[in-house]
Amino acid sequence: MPAPLSRKIGQKKQRLADSEQQQTPKERLLSTPGLRRSIYFSSPEDHSGRLGPEFFDQPAVTLARAFLGQVLVRRLADGTELRGRIVETEAYLGPEDEAAHSRGGRQTPRNRGMFMKPGTLYVYLIYGMYFCLNVSSQGAGACVLLRALEPLEGLETMRQLRNSLRKSTVGRSLKDRELCSGPSKLCQALAIDKSFDQRDLAQDDAVWLEHGPLESSSPAVVVAAARIGIGHAGEWTQKPLRFYVQGSPWVSVVDRVAEQMDQPQQTACSEGLLIVQK
DNA sequence: GGCCCGATGGGCT
DNA sequence: GCCCATCGGGCCA
């Protein structure tokens, strides 16, 4: 006899919980009380630098660009740290932006995070089954959507988290490129759900942003392209408010036309190490 | 590779 | 009652 739906959902939730419980010996070590007491510069590697509130206090477009190259960190309940370099973002500008949830100044319980101080997370459910992670920027109702990460640390845990949420868990194993190449994929891979809504990315113990390592090789060129999945927003549909690292294999959708267009606004990521004028 | 389409449920009109 | 800032599987080239 097939399990009732409610029980199936319960089993799904249990699998999620289980996946957070599964620990390698190293992860068990990290989760011992003495080692998990503080995440703030408690070990040498933490000196890489957590980004504070001032970083988020800039307009949506510049923040969306500034995010590229920075490292998003998620610390699970068991102490496991997952890291991914941000390679793709979208800016949503606020009331005038017809594609934004805050269009026309709409402020509801759901989108309250968009109107809170810069650095506040706005996490919402989409299509009944997925989450999207946004970060409030300067400007009322403006925010940045995080669309793709290059997974750096904790890839096997990310794979488990992603697999536990897929229907055919017996199917093929996910490739590294499939772990975080989309706004809802990265939420699955980092175990980010609605409970993260309205948290402060500059203060939270379970999720934060770190300075990306300074580029040693060639600086990345940033492509400005149209945003994804907003076909209903009139003139706003085509505005180049999606930003991604050109050539990165971790990006969710490549826009060849935008890459070939003359884009004088294209710049290198990470704090203007290089300005590229094509 | 590209295109098509079903899943799925909270939010909003 | 419709919309939706998505994803993954199936199919075809």
**A65 in any annotated domain:** yes
| A101 Cβ contacts chain B strand, under 7 Å | yes
Question: With bands split at pLDDT 50, 70 and 90, how would you rate the model's confidence at A233?
Answer: confident
Least confident of A3-12, A68-77, A258-267: A3-12
**A78 in any annotated domain:** yes
| A124 Cβ contacts chain B strand, under 7 Å | yes
Number of domains in chain A: 1
Residue A44 has pLDDT above 50, yes or no: no
How many angstroms separate the CA atoms of A141 and A265, rounded?
24
**CA nearest A243: which of A227, A260, A223?**
A223
**A42 in any annotated domain:** no
How many angstroms separate the CA atoms of A169 and A247, rounded?
31
| A128 Cβ contacts chain B strand, under 7 Å | yes
| A9 Cβ contacts chain B strand, under 7 Å | yes
Whether residue A60 contacts residue A139, with contact meaning beta carbons closer than 8 Å, is answered with yes
Residue A17 has pLDDT above 50, yes or no: no
Number of Cβ atoms within 10 Å of the Cβ of A123? 19
Number of Cβ atoms within 10 Å of the Cβ of A64? 29
Output the six-digit token pair for A125: 């459910």
Whether residue A121 contacts residue A134, with contact meaning beta carbons closer than 8 Å, is answered with yes
Whether residue A121 contacts residue A200, with contact meaning beta carbons closer than 8 Å, is answered with yes
| A242 Cβ contacts chain C strand, under 7 Å | no
A40: helix, strand or coil: coil
Choose between A268 and A153: higher pLDDT: A153
Burial A129-154 (b: 16+ CB within 10 A, else e): eebbbbbbbebebbbbbbbbbbbbeb
Separation in Å: C5 C1' and A34 CA? 41
Residue A214 is predicted with a pLDDT of 64
How many angstroms separate the CA atoms of A80 and A40, rounded?
15
Q: Which nucleotide is nearest to A107 (CA to C1')?
A: B12
A81-104 per-position pLDDT tens digit: 999 999 999 999 999 999 999 999
| A102 Cβ contacts chain B strand, under 7 Å | no
| A40 Cβ contacts chain C strand, under 7 Å | no
**A57 in any annotated domain:** yes
**A261 in any annotated domain:** no
**A7 in any annotated domain:** no
| A122 Cβ contacts chain B strand, under 7 Å | no
Q: What are phi and psi of A126, to 5 degrees?
A: -130, 145
Residue A277 has pLDDT above 50, yes or no: no
| A92 Cβ contacts chain C strand, under 7 Å | yes
Burial bucket for residue A244 (CB in 10 Å: 0-12, 13-18, 19+):
buried
How many angstroms separate the CA atoms of A221 and A242, rounded?
14
Nucleotides of C under 7 A from a protein CB: 3-9
Per the listing, tokens 């706004």 go with: A183
**A64 in any annotated domain:** yes
Nucleotides of B under 7 A from a protein CB: 7-13
Residue A264 identity (one-letter amino acid): P
Kindly report the CATH number assigned to the domain that includes residue A109.
3.10.300.10
**A101 in any annotated domain:** yes
Question: With bands split at pLDDT 50, 70 and 90, how would you rate the model's confidence at A218?
Answer: low
| A106 Cβ contacts chain B strand, under 7 Å | yes
> Nearest-5° angle of CA A65, CA A68, CA A74?
130
A169-215 per-position pLDDT tens digit: 455 789 999 999 999 999 999 999 999 999 999 999 999 999 998 65
Residue A3 has pLDDT above 60, yes or no: no
Question: With bands split at pLDDT 50, 70 and 90, how would you rate the model's confidence at A219?
Answer: low
Separation in Å: B11 C1' and A110 CA? 8
In this prediction, residues A133-145 reach a mean pLDDT of: 97
A45-91 per-position pLDDT tens digit: 445 589 999 999 999 999 999 999 999 999 999 999 999 999 999 99
How many angstroms separate the CA atoms of A43 and A50, rounded?
13
Q: What are phi and psi of A256, to 5 degrees?
A: -60, -35
Separation in Å: B11 C1' and A62 CA? 30
A252: helix, strand or coil: coil
Residue A262 is predicted with a pLDDT of 56
Residue A33 has pLDDT above 80, yes or no: no
Residue A234 is predicted with a pLDDT of 84
Separation in Å: B4 C1' and A35 CA? 50
Residue whose Cα is closest to the C1' of B12: A108
What is this structure's pTM? Answer: 0.80
Domain that holds residue A161: 53-249
| A173 Cβ contacts chain B strand, under 7 Å | no
